Amino acid sequence: MKKIPRKKLEIFYNVDSFEIKTVKDLHEKCKSIKWSRYFSEKQTFKVLAHFSNQKEIERKSPFKNSLYAAQVVKDGIADSFRDDGLGRPNVELEFPQIQVSLHLTLGAQGTLKASLSFDLCLDPLSNRNHRTKYALAPMRENLAASLVMEMFPLEKKEEWKNQTVIDSMSGGGNFILEFLMMKYDVPPSWPKLKALIEQKRNQFALFNVTTFRTKENLAVWKKITEDLYGQTRKNLPRTLDENVRAYDLDMRAIKSIRESLEGFFGATIIRVERADATKIKKMHEEETGVIFCNPPYGVRLGDEEELEKLYEEYGENLKNNFKNFTAYIFTQHAQLRKKISLRTSSRKAFYNGPLECRLLEYRLF
């Protein structure tokens, strides 16, 4: 759905931006903001501080760590409420109703550029709320969404929506889930949307901020969410999608994918089977489509030899059994692509947390 982003982590509402030199500058500026316009003393809050260049800011500024900077903002907010003759709102570190974010960057001549904003999500947008107790080290949902959108451009949906798509090493299942969400126009926030409409349980933090909670805004929000809920209900598949398959050798991964599909779509809407990615084959000779693989990264001693063998055997299986498919391999190990023994048609860089990875494309003829 175009109304809800698939790749973003958070959405912020800026309260104020300014320059400071001292700790007192930050405290006084926070104190001068009328925070009671945005939330009440009965609501809980939390402050998080982010440094754009942590080492530089800690070395050149009076803020030796982000926790101290957050404490200064918190004290300034509390003093602002007191100046208005109100009580001090309680701090809640785990499940706050309001989250204030401070972002500091180094400016010219020893100044710091400060920005204060509200986090309108609290729970990051990348959390789809479908992970299960069986989930195995899954890639982040927003990374999976980025890969899906790179491989299956929305503007070409008519070309790929009926293609065969295979996730050959599914792991936590996030790639195949993101693909299915995009294929069937299901918003990533679907679990939260269902909770809001069906159980009247609001997991969206937007209206915890008073300035958004007007009669007009609430009416617009009600219409948007009800319309989106109704349209998504119509979009959900009613039968097994024979064109999409997910495989993994680990039964925990298989259980995780099945439970996630049932939780998100109401049923296991695709074929999910335990199988070795180096031995799977096409359903029939004429079948064409896309096969995806996110191999293990290998972080333990002895893993490198195992990975080399896995890449080599996987490449041989692609070459021998997936003629006329397009294969994608998402890997941290750029050097291991030589073990595939196939020529890449494209290579694109992505980051999985701090790890620089490559999405390798192979046209199999």
* Amino acid 300: pLDDT: 47
Residue 4 in domain: no
Q: Is 59 helix (H, G, I), strand (E, B) or coil?
A: helix
* Amino acid 227: pLDDT: 95
CA nearest neighbour of 165 among 358, 361, 326: 326
Asked whether residue 162 falls in the same domain as residue 99, the answer is: no
* Amino acid 131: pLDDT: 56
Asked whether residue 172 falls in the same domain as residue 306, the answer is: yes
Residue 136 in domain: no
Calculate the dihedral angle through the C-alpha atoms of 226, 229, 231, 233, rounding to the nearest 10 degrees: -140
CA nearest neighbour of 68 among 47, 89, 82: 47
* Amino acid 222: pLDDT: 92
Asked whether residue 97 falls in the same domain as residue 170, the answer is: no
Low-confidence ranges of the chain (pLDDT < 70): 1-9, 124-138, 298-302
**Listed residues 119, 150, 172: the one ending a domain:** 119
* Amino acid 358: pLDDT: 94
* Amino acid 306: pLDDT: 87
* Amino acid 130: pLDDT: 55
Q: Is 130 helix (H, G, I), strand (E, B) or coil?
A: coil
* Amino acid 4: pLDDT: 53
Residue 208 in domain: no
Domain limits for position 23:
12-119
Residue 23 in domain: yes
45 touches 99 (CB < 8 A)? yes
Asked whether residue 62 falls in the same domain as residue 173, the answer is: no
Tens of pLDDT along 279-304? Answer: 999 999 999 999 999 998 765 445 77
Residue 61 in domain: yes
- The answer for 108, left when phi > 0, alpha when psi is -120 to 50, beta otherwise, is beta
33 touches 78 (CB < 8 A)? no
CATH of the domain at 318: 3.40.50.150
* Amino acid 140: pLDDT: 84
Calculate the dihedral angle through the C-alpha atoms of 194, 183, 358, 310, rounding to the nearest 10 degrees: 100
Asked whether residue 145 falls in the same domain as residue 45, the answer is: no
* Amino acid 247: pLDDT: 97
CATH of the domain at 17: 3.30.2130.30
Residue 192 in domain: no
* Amino acid 44: pLDDT: 96
* Amino acid 2: pLDDT: 43
* Amino acid 278: pLDDT: 97
Q: The whole model's pTM is what?
A: 0.82
* Amino acid 15: pLDDT: 96
**What total number of domains does the chain contain?**
2
The amino acid sitting at 240 is L
Asked whether residue 149 falls in the same domain as residue 268, the answer is: yes
Residue 3 in domain: no
